Structure 1
C-alpha cells in the first residue's frame, strides 16, 4: 500500500478468530452469493454499469469469503487518520495479493478541495472521509456516482445517503468523557447546554474544535437549536467555562483518563480505545439525550464519478461493509458497526442504549457557518 508522506513503522495485527466464529455460526453469512473469478482491471469495468459480477450484500453482514476476489489497483483519497484506517487497507491487501490501494491522505476539507479542482480528471476512485459532512458536500458538487442498491440497502437509512451516492462505513457518537474519580456518570446532565452553563464544569471541561466531527456537531446544533442558541453555547464554553481546547482527540481522552482534565466532549471511540487497553483507567462516558450532544455521525465512502474502475471500487466497498471490515472498526477503533449481524463488543454502551437525535446527515454538507461561528467566538486552536 502506497501513501503520500512518511511511512508508518509498524502494522496492526487483528485476531481473525472472531470472523471465523461468525462465519461458522452463520450470523454474518449471506448464503449463496458466490462470484466467479476476480474483480480487477481486466474483468471489464464499464463506467455506466456495475455489471453482473458484483456480489450482493444483504441486511446482515456477509464474509469476505462470499465476495469477489479483488485484483488491480484503486486510488483512495482518505480523510481518515492513518492509524484509524490503514491497518484495514493492509488486511485487505494481505487477503488479495494481486490487489493494491494507493492512498492519498489529507484532511477532509483539503481532499474535498482537491476533488473539486480535479473534477472529472481526478485519479481518485474512492473518497473515504472522517465525517459524513464531506460526503454530503461531494454529493452536492455532483462528484459522486450512485452506489449499487445492495450497498445502500445494507446500511440503515439514517447512516447513508437516501439518494444512494454515499454510505456510512462506521459510526461514532458524541459523548461526555469524564474522570470517574471526580464525577459520577449518573449525576451528569443529559442536556448539552448544561455543560456550558453549570459552574461545576468551569475550568475542568474540554473539547476539540479543529475536528470535522466537532464542526459537524456545531452544524447540527445550528440546524436543531438555531444560530443564536449555538453561538451562546460556544461563547459560554470559551468565556464562562474556560474550556481547554485540544487539537488531538487521543490526547484529550488520555488527559481525562490520566491527566489533569476532568470532562471531555468528544467522540466516544477515543475513550473506548483507552478502556480496551486499560480497563482500570479512571475514565468513562456519559451521553446527553436526543440533542446534538449525542449526534451519531459516520465515516464513510463515496465512489467518484470520475473513476474508471467502479466495479472494483464497489467490491472494495463491500469488503469495508462485510463482517471482517465491520469487526475491525469495533475491535481496533472502538467504533460502532453500521451493518446488522456484527455486534458492538466494547466497554461502552451500544447504540440501542443511547438516544441520539434523528438527523439527516446530508445537512452536515456545509460547515461554513459553523466554522465562521467558532472563529468569531474564539473557539479555535
Structure 2
C-alpha cells in the first residue's frame, strides 16, 4: 500500500478527494423514498422528524436523507471561505433549495439575533464556536433538535440538553516553524502559561484575539484558572512577550510557514490546511496538555426557536452532519469530525493522541467576559 511522506495511505486520500469532488457535481439526483413538498412560503415538511433516513453515529449519506426545497436563512459566524463551499454543494444538489446566508463574526451575529424580532430572525445560526450557541441557549432562542440528531453526536461535541450540536471540531495548538524554532516540539512547553512567562518567546510569538475560538479559550482559562490568572496571562502576552496580533487565522499560519513568525497560538486546522497543500512546509504543531491551551471546541448549528422553517432547518442540519458534510470538514478545512463513523485522516495528530481538558462547552457562553478582559488588557486588533 502506497503512503506519502507523512505516512498517510495515498489511495485513501485519493479516494477521499474524488469523493469530495463529487459534492459539487452531484446535481439534482432524485432521492428514493423522499416525500413531496408543500408550496408557498410555508415549511415544506409535515413534521420535525427525518424526511428520509434518520441521522446515525455511523454516518448516513446524502442519498439516504430527505430532499431539500425552499429558502433557508442562515446566519454564519464562520468566515465565508470556511463554510460557503459546503453550502454551495448542497444548493447545487437541489434545484429548488437556496440558502440565504449572512456572514459576520460571532459577536455581531449574536447581537443581531438578540436585537431582531421573531419575524426577522434566521432559521439557523451556524457558529464559529460553541460559546455563541451556548449563549443563545441561555437566552432561550434555540429549540431542541430532532432526536436522531441529538443521538448521533456525542455529548462531548454537543449540548447535552439537545439545543445545539457541533458540526466539526478543532483543538487549540502551538503552531511553529521548524526552521526557526530549535529543538522542535520537545522544546515547546506543555503548559499554556509558559508561553506568557518564558523569555524565549519574547518578540517571536503571535495570537489572534478577534476569533471566536480564541475568546472561548479565554473563557475556558477563566473557568479553569480564575479571572486574575487569566488577566495576568493576557497582560504578560501583550507587555512582556510583545505578541504579534493577527486578525486572520489563515494569515497567521501562513506567516509562520513563510518564516516571518516563529511560534503562534491558534487552531490546529489552519496548519493542517497548509501542510495538506505543501507537505514540505516547515510548519508543524505541538499541544499543551490538559489545560485551556489545547481546548477542544466545535463549530456548530442551532435552530432558532422562532425559525420560519424549522423542519427544513432540521433536514439541512442532517446534511451538514452526514458523511459528505463531515468529509468536507476533514479534507477541505482540516477539522475533526463529530460523528464516530467518519475518520480523521489529516496530517496532524488525532484527538486520541492529544490530551484536551474535560470541559463542558456550555460553560463558554459568557463570551462578553472574554471580550471585556481582552479590551481592558490591550489585546485587540
Residue of structure 1 in register with 2:26 after alignment? none
- Asked if the contact 1:178–1:264 (Cα under 8 Å) also holds between the matched residues in 2, the reply is yes
Residue of structure 2 in register with 1:318 after alignment? 318
Go from structure 1 to structure 2 and tell me whether the alpha carbon gap of 1:330 and 1:51 turns closer, same or farther (over 3 Å shift).
Answer: closer
Go from structure 1 to structure 2 and tell me whether the alpha carbon gap of 1:79 and 1:187 turns closer, same or farther (over 3 Å shift).
Answer: same
Residue of structure 1 in register with 2:165 after alignment? 167
| Distance in 2 separating the partners of 1:67 and 1:245 | 43
- Asked if the contact 1:209–1:379 (Cα under 8 Å) also holds between the matched residues in 2, the reply is yes
SS in 2 for 1:289: coil
Residue of structure 2 in register with 1:124 after alignment? 122
Residue of structure 2 in register with 1:272 after alignment? 272
Residue of structure 2 in register with 1:91 after alignment? 89
| Distance in 1 separating the partners of 2:336 and 2:245 | 26
- Asked if the contact 2:20–2:328 (Cα under 8 Å) also holds between the matched residues in 1, the reply is no
| Mean Cα deviation higher: 116-125 or 288-297 | 116-125
User: In the comparison of the two structures, how many residue pairs are matched?
Assistant: 356
| Distance in 1 separating the partners of 2:49 and 2:356 | 38
2:70 aligned to 60, 69, 72, which one?
A: 72
- Asked if the contact 2:113–2:121 (Cα under 8 Å) also holds between the matched residues in 1, the reply is no
Residue of structure 2 in register with 1:11 after alignment? none
TM-score, normalization: structure 1?
0.89
SS in 2 for 1:307: coil
| Distance in 1 separating the partners of 2:42 and 2:145 | 18
Go from structure 1 to structure 2 and tell me whether the alpha carbon gap of 1:277 and 1:270 turns closer, same or farther (over 3 Å shift).
Answer: same
1:147 aligned to 145, 162, 168, which one?
A: 145
Structure 1 segment 180-259 matched on structure 2, within 5 A: 180-183=178-181, 184-259=184-259
Deviation at 1:117, TM superposition (A): 1.5
Map Cα deviations across residues 70-106 of structure 1 (whole Å, 9 max, x no partner).
1111111111100000000011111111111111112
SS in 1 for 2:206: strand
- Asked if the contact 1:38–1:71 (Cα under 8 Å) also holds between the matched residues in 2, the reply is no
SS in 2 for 1:69: coil
| Distance in 2 separating the partners of 1:307 and 1:298 | 22
1:103 aligned to 101, 104, 110, which one?
A: 101
SS in 1 for 2:117: helix
- Asked if the contact 1:177–1:256 (Cα under 8 Å) also holds between the matched residues in 2, the reply is yes
Residue of structure 1 in register with 2:113 after alignment? 115
Residue of structure 2 in register with 1:27 after alignment? none
| Distance in 1 separating the partners of 2:43 and 2:372 | 43
Deviation at 1:43, TM superposition (A): 11
Structure 1 segment 329-344 matched on structure 2, within 5 A: 329-344=329-344
Residue of structure 1 in register with 2:376 after alignment? 376
SS in 2 for 1:57: coil
Deviation at 1:52, TM superposition (A): 6.3
Unaligned 5+ runs, structure 2: 1-15, 23-30
Deviation at 1:39, TM superposition (A): 5.6
